[in-house]
Amino acid sequence: MAPPFDDPAPGPDEWPREPDPVLPDTPMWLSHHWPAAYDRCAVVGGLHICRRCLALYPLALVAGIAISLGSWWPHRIDAWVLWLFPLPGVIEFVLDNLGRIGYSPRRQVVLSAAGAIAAGLGYVRYLDHTTDRLVWSVVGAYTAACLAGAIIGGLRNEDVA
């Protein structure tokens, strides 16, 4: 946007005025991203919704309900599902935050969908036993990895800026 016409033009020894930053149009709890990163969101009803969450949470809810119905789920594979299904998404998250890979909406949705099956299973196990060691070990390990990637990536971005 052009500055107002009554603002004096910058002199030869002055820096031009920085444009005002774009303001968020969606609460952070829905977008998880500042406006500069709204490309990582889908627009739903005029609001920016985090694309990863939009794929992950509804699918996790459906998976959790499906797993909890009846006795068809082979619980002997729980550890494999909980550790392996979210792993590609965790790796993608960390590498993206470290700037090692570029952002891909399609890749993000596919990897989030795989993690949603594990999240649904985790919900079921948590509701059965809130202190389930398997669930909490996966949550703790993957949260630590993602948090470390986000913090290190954020610090590296500050150094570049």
Q: Determine, yes or no, domain membership for 45.
A: no
Q: Total domain count for the chain?
A: 1
36 inside domain: no
Q: Give 22's pLDDT tier (boundaries 50, 70, 90).
A: low
Which position has the higher pLDDT, 7 or 122? 122
Crossing angle of helices 87-97 and 105-128, rounded to 10°: 130
Res 5 pLDDT > 60: no
Does 135 map to a domain?
A: yes
In a domain, 112, yes or no: yes
Instruction: Answer for the pair 88, 80: CB distance below 8 angstroms, yes or no.
Output: no
Host domain of residue 106: 51-160
- Rounded CA separation 144/152 (Å): 12
Q: How many whole angstroms separate alpha carbon 120 and alpha carbon 112?
A: 12
3-state SS class at 50: strand
Query: Is residue 14 included in any domain, yes or no?
Result: no
Please tell me the distance from the alpha carbon of residue 113 to that of residue 107, in angstroms, as a whole number.
Answer: 10
C-alpha–C-alpha distance, residues 134 and 83, integer Å? 9
Task: With cut-offs at 50, 70 and 90, classify the pLDDT of residue 23.
Answer: low
What is the DSSP code (8-state) at residue 48? Answer: E
Q: Is residue 76 part of a domain?
A: yes
- Contacting residues for 22 by C-beta, under 8 A, at least 6 apart: 35, 36
Does residue 83 lie within any of the structural domains?
yes
Please report the pLDDT score of residue 17 as a whole number: 64
Confidence of residue 33 (pLDDT cuts 50, 70, 90): confident
Structure tokens at 66: 């499906």
Tens of pLDDT, residues 89-114: 999 999 999 999 999 999 999 999 99
Residue 124 lies in a domain: yes
